[in-house]
Amino acid sequence: QVMPVESGGGLVQAGESLRLSCAAGRTSSNNAMGWFRQAPGEEREFVAAISWNGGTSSIADSVKDRFSVSRDRVKNTVYLQMNNLKPEDTAVYYCAAARGAVSGSDRSQYMRWGQGTQVTVSS
């Protein structure tokens, strides 16, 4: 497949963990990948990004103490580990492939987007 495909979302209670997976797509193995999220009525916001080889990553300040991003180049899969989830983390989480080998928080850097996976955190 070419487009990223997310999985791993679900309904959890506050304080629990989830790991989201993103099959990056057969043409994205040398591209940076990013995670964004969008809550109802809100703008899509940056969560994390990781470079083509996993050597560089960045996490949004709002979640940096709880979330981490990693990449398995053999499986061509990107992961978002989310710990100590809070109700305000409830959103649709999107994976996206960047145009270059390194990327950041600017949505315009990303050219291919997945359909998203729902994460709901109950209090």
For 91-101, what is the mean pLDDT?
96
Confidence at residue 27, expressed as pLDDT on a 0 to 100 scale = 82
Confidence at residue 38, expressed as pLDDT on a 0 to 100 scale = 98
Asked if residue 1 has pLDDT above 90, the reply is no
34-93 pLDDT tens trace: 999 999 999 999 999 999 999 999 999 999 999 999 999 999 999 999 999 999 999 999
Q: Which residue has the tokens 């109700």?
A: 87
H or E element: which one contains 18? strand 18-23
Q: Which residue has the tokens 């959890």?
A: 12
Structure tokens, 83: 């710990």
Structure tokens, 21: 């997976």
Asked if residue 7 has pLDDT above 80, the reply is yes
